[in-house]
Chain A
Amino acid sequence: MEKEGKGRKIFEGFRKIQSTITFSFSLLIIATVVIFLGIALNNTRKTILDSSISYTRQIIRQVNYDIDSYITNMENISSVIVGSPDVSNFLFPDEGQNALQTSEEKDEDKEKYGVSVIINNAAEAIDEVAVSRERILSQFKTITESRGDIYNIAAVANSGRAIVNDGSEGLTDFIDVKNLDWYKAALDSETGIALSSSHVQNAIVSSYKWVITLSRAIYGKDGKRDGVFFIDLNYNSISDLCNNNPIGTKGYIFIIDDEGNVVYHPKQQLMYGGLLTEKIPEILENDADYMLTQEGSASKLYTMSKSEKTGWIVVGVTFTDELLAGMRQAQRIYLIVAAGLLIIVILLSAIISRRITKPIAMLRDSMRKMEEGSISDASVEITTQNEIGDLSRSFNAMTVRIRELMSQIVYEQDEKRKSELRAMLAQINPHFLYNTLDSIIWMAESGRNKEVVVMTAALARLFRQSISNDKEQMTIEDELEYVRNYLTIQKMRYADKLEYSINVDSDILKVDIIKFALQPLVENAIYHGIKYKEGKGTIEISGHAEGDRVVLSVSDDGVGMDDETLSRIFDGNKKDERSNGVGITNVQSRIKLYYGEEYGLEFASEKGKGTVATLTIPREKNIDEN
């Protein structure tokens, strides 16, 4: 119970089941949708990120592969040139040739080698060197012209002898090429091949270009590495390779060497200016082939691929918000669908709950009607076939049954009252009968036959009238007749004591009145008024219409009643021994029952002066007779 406390409170707050259902449905659905969305979005994010990672990883591998093959291609070119005898012919001329070349420069040396054979040989050798030079230059020309990614192509001997590009350029005097990193690297490397990082080529006159140098050792005739062939690559091809595989519109690819020096970066100038930094130390330390970083509000994905061949690391940088653009789309769809679903569902739950609760509300309204007492129109229309329908049906059956029972009760009550009345009427007070019969006997003995006839006739009429019909009402005229018969008998019994007069307007004679309403009043006037009076008493019965009412009064000039007697006049049902069956109380309650509370009996009495009983009934009887 305690546990449910809170939930109950929430739902008890609603006074309608519909609200409860709608609210709880909505809550449930919103919760479901939110949870679903959370899981779906999270999952989508993860999936998209995963696929983006594997996608960029693939691209980066591809770029790496492309660069490897690009470098391999360059190596092949270098191997072709280095392998040609022309290079070694040119770079490492024989002693003679060497001498001869020097002798060309210094005339006096010619004297030293004054032998014509030697000169001849030397001349041939010079020719040979010149031919080699031409061949090399044409080879260089072919290579550089066929591709746009080579700044410099050159072969240099340790002696300083060099052939550069188209032959018109030379090495600069200020730099000792043998001290340059790429030169030393080629000589020292195991394979004889070295690949530099980005650097300024300062070995060639008026170059000073940023290049990547591929250098390859040249073996001299002695089998030692006596020189270096090198190609200075510009960034055309590498940037093409990096940019041909776009990784998003904002994403980019850059290359670092194994020491972390930038080989290529699309914004190299910014990098060199110190305006842009990359997380190079982190990349070098990172073992996995990708890493996610958070820089301010932007989250970046770094994907790395290290080349075994060059030692370079190709790094792809993608912005996760761009990667997740697809997710945005998905999210948008999810959200729109969710919002749409929510609206539909809330509407539906409102409609459904309304459909469920409408019969209940109808049932409630019917019950309220029944509660208020109008059973006749309390039945409810059955609109559903479910439990509520059953309930309505049962309710309808119940109202029918109640209606039946009630009409039965009304009928039975009616019957009961009638039979009671009948029983009461049937037993005309025996004392009255004995007394009357005693009077008749007494009159007969004294030979007052005429009077006997009158009294007996009146008694007979009285009895006939009382059992004549079982109607509850009779006309005032008939009632007066009954009273008159009764008074005839009583007057004869109380010969000198009783006088009476009847003054009833003739226009009300045909008005219906409940049976035996007046007689008990007259009887009351006699037994409580006249009887104890000394001397003659008079009873006056009058009647007239007062608007839609009829007022009948029975007044006597007897002893009257004190206030106490008057106040107890309607008390109980105790029957006067001598009363003719129907008492005052009975008359009063029958009038109220038949005509309503506003009608009835009223008594006014004054001790020693007499009593007035006033009876009010409606002129038009408006009760239904059943």
Chain B
Amino acid sequence: MKTKLRNRILIILTAALMLAFGIFALIRYGKSGAKEYNLILIPKVIDETNGFWTALIEGAKLGASENSCNITVSAPEKEIEYEKQIQIILDSIEKKPDAIIVAASSFSETTGALQKVLDAGIELILVDSVIDTDLGVPIVATDNIDGGRQLGEYTRQFVKENSRIGMVGHVKDVSTAIEREAGMREGLGEYADRIDTVVFCGSSYDVAYELTCEMVETHPDIDIIMCMNEYSTVGTARAIDDLGLKDKITVTGFDNSIEEVQLIEKGVIKATVIQKPFNMGYLAAEEAIKGLLGGETSMNVDSGCLLITPENMYDEESQRLLFPFLGQQ
């Protein structure tokens, strides 16, 4: 009996050893590759000339490919076409992707479609803009209030005794416009009551140009114009430059593009707050994949921003952010 038991123990011991070997080998070498997820990115617009969205898309693409995931991008041709974007969101749900990354074009109208994304069990990440409802999904965006505040604080130095301020926004009621305006007012502090008018250009250079011309006419006291995105900044600066008022009227704004850089160098634009669209896209994709893998996602990812002035624009850090290193490799 006892010997039999011994033998059995021996056999079991040997078997256990073999098993351990097997499991060890399996663990060591059986690592299966991570799953390939399908992501859909829906920015506000696809516009080759727009540095911001191009960089954001590129960032998201890189973020996806870094994690060996697929990403497709679809968006309306104009930033203002939020109905089209809603349709694109609804169409995207049909494609059953693993995650959808959306830069909502409307603060309130997009909410319903986004809720449907969540209802379909698709991972949702908001990028750049927020919406009126808290859906409890990760948001990757610039801290627009902070950006506005920086610009407001910087603009204070141009406020003279009788200065009046005008504002050119991009789209009324989008979160970025709301937040940036609020931030600017905060940054201006006691000068906030110098703001005489706020107009919205619908993210169009031409509209911004015309609105600026009108503003100069209707509000001759205005000597500072603060803009809220690339379209409004460039449109306004073009108008001021064309009107030859660049030494009379100070323009500060948001975002960057080659033209904006030239206008800064030319001295038309005195300051711009640039976002980090590439980082934003990259982090959004990363966040989406993190969520899909079941990891912990951060609810609010601040992709950061930087105030650019003619003095610091060729600093190491500024030039890295100001001039996207895209398509050059």
Contact = CB atoms under 8 A, between A and B. Distances in A.
Contact of A269 (B14, B58, B267): B58
Interface in B238-271: 258, 261-262, 265-267
A558 B14 CA distance: 86
Contacts of A268: 325, 328-329
B321 A19 contact: no
A180 B289 CA distance: 43
B328 A235 contact: yes
A135 to B, nearest CB: 31
Given A14-B6, A269-B326, A275 B282 contact: yes
Interface in A1-58: 13-16, 19, 22-23, 26, 30
A332 interface: yes
A208 B323 contact: yes
A209 to B, nearest CB: 7
A15 B2 contact: yes
Interface size class of B (residues with CB under 8 A): 35 or more
Contacts of B62: 267, 269-270
Contact of A14 (B3, B322, B328): B3
Nearest to A174: B265
Interface in B309-329: 314, 316, 319-326, 328-329
A189 to B, nearest CB: 21
A200 B323 contact: yes
Interface stretch (A81-89, A302-310, A334-342, A445-453): A334-342
B319 to A, nearest CB: 5
B35 interface: no
A281 interface: no
A177 to B, nearest CB: 13
A615 to B, nearest CB: 52
Contacts of A22: 10
B170 interface: no
A234 B3 contact: no
A199 interface: yes
Nearest to A261: B316
Contacts of A275: 279, 282-283
Q: Interface majority SS on B: helix, strand, loop or mixed?
A: helix
Contacts of B18: 339, 342-343
Interface in B278-329: 278-279, 282-283, 304, 314, 316, 319-326, 328-329
Given A19-B7, A30-B17, A273-B59, A239 B282 contact: no
Interface in A146-194: 172, 174-175
Contacts of B278: 269, 273
Interface in B18-74: 18, 21-22, 24-25, 28-29, 58-59, 62
A339 B262 contact: no
B149 interface: no
A103 interface: no
A328 interface: yes
B276 interface: yes
Interface string A310-352: 0000000000000000001001100110110011001000000
A199 B319 contact: yes
B265 A202 contact: yes
B328 A210 contact: yes
Contacts of A172: 265
Contact of A209 (B10, B25, B321, B328): B328
B320 A272 contact: yes
Interface in B151-179: none
Given A200-B319, A273-B59, A16 B24 contact: no
A15 B7 CA distance: 10
A269 B325 contact: yes
Contacts, number: 96
A175 B326 CA distance: 24
Contacts of B261: 208
A199 B318 CA distance: 11
Interface residues of A, number: 42
B17, B261, B328 — most chain A CB neighbours (10 Å) = B328
Given A210-B325, A272-B321, A272-B325, A335 B3 contact: no
Interface string A188-227: 0000000000011010001011100000000000000000
B321 A175 contact: no
Nearest to B58: A269
B282 A335 contact: no
B304 to A, nearest CB: 8
Contacts of B6: 13-16, 19
A331 B28 contact: yes
B323 A332 contact: no
A332 B59 contact: no
A332 to B, nearest CB: 6
B262 A206 contact: yes
A274 interface: yes
A273 B282 contact: yes
A328 B25 CA distance: 10
A144 B262 CA distance: 26
Contacts of B322: 200
A200 B3 contact: no
A336 B21 CA distance: 9
A22 B18 CA distance: 16
Nearest to A14: B6
B275 to A, nearest CB: 11
Contacts of A174: 265-267
A175 B279 CA distance: 30
Contacts of A248: none
A430 interface: no
Nearest to A329: B29
Interface in A257-283: 261, 266-270, 272-275
A328 B28 contact: yes
Contacts of B325: 210, 268-269, 272
A209 B327 CA distance: 10
Nearest to B7: A19
A210 B266 contact: no
B225 to A, nearest CB: 21
B3, B18, B24, B323 — most chain A CB neighbours (10 Å) = B323
A341 B28 CA distance: 20
B10 A234 contact: no
Interface in A365-419: none
Interface in A94-115: none
5 contacts: A239-B329, A273-B276, A331-B29, A336-B25, A342-B21
Interface of B: 2-3, 6-7, 10, 14, 17-18, 21-22, 24-25, 28-29, 58-59, 62, 258, 261-262, 265-267, 276, 278-279, 282-283, 304, 314, 316, 319-326, 328-329
Given A200-B314, A210-B325, 20 more contacts: A14-B6, A15-B6, A202-B265, A208-B323, A209-B323, A210-B328, A235-B328, A261-B316, A269-B325, A269-B326, A272-B325, A273-B276, A328-B29, A331-B28, A332-B25, A335-B25, A336-B25, A339-B18, A342-B14, A342-B21
Q: 4 tightest CB-CB pairs across the interface, nearest first?
A: A272-B320, A174-B265, A273-B279, A200-B323
